[in-house]
Amino acid sequence: MKAKTHSGAKKRVKVTGTGKFVFAHSCKRHLLSDKSKKAKGRDKYGLVAHATNKLAAQRCLPYGV
């Protein structure tokens, strides 16, 4: 039986070419006028998931979507 891809994970997590899992930083949706330019810039790029969460991410994305 084929494994199903987790619908929530495929919308939020991207797999890099080297097999790492990247997701977006939090705190970038609203209330941005109160944050400094530096704080907004730090959250600009994706965050690589920690190695301890790699197995959980692989189960959610069995085909590396």
3-28 pLDDT tens trace? 999 999 999 999 999 999 999 998 88
- The share of the chain scoring above pLDDT 90, in percent, equals 75
Q: Is 29 a domain residue?
A: no
Q: Is 43 a domain residue?
A: yes
Q: Is 45 a domain residue?
A: yes
Q: Is 26 a domain residue?
A: no
pTM: 0.77
* pLDDT at residue number 43: 87
CA angle, corner 46, sides to 45 and 51, nearest 5?
145
Q: Is 32 a domain residue?
A: no
Q: Is 12 a domain residue?
A: yes
Residue 60 near residue 13 (C-beta atoms within 8 A): yes
Q: Is 25 a domain residue?
A: no
Rounded to a whole number, what is the distance in angstroms from the first to the last CA of the chain?
A: 18
* Structural domain for 56, as ranges: 1-16+39-65
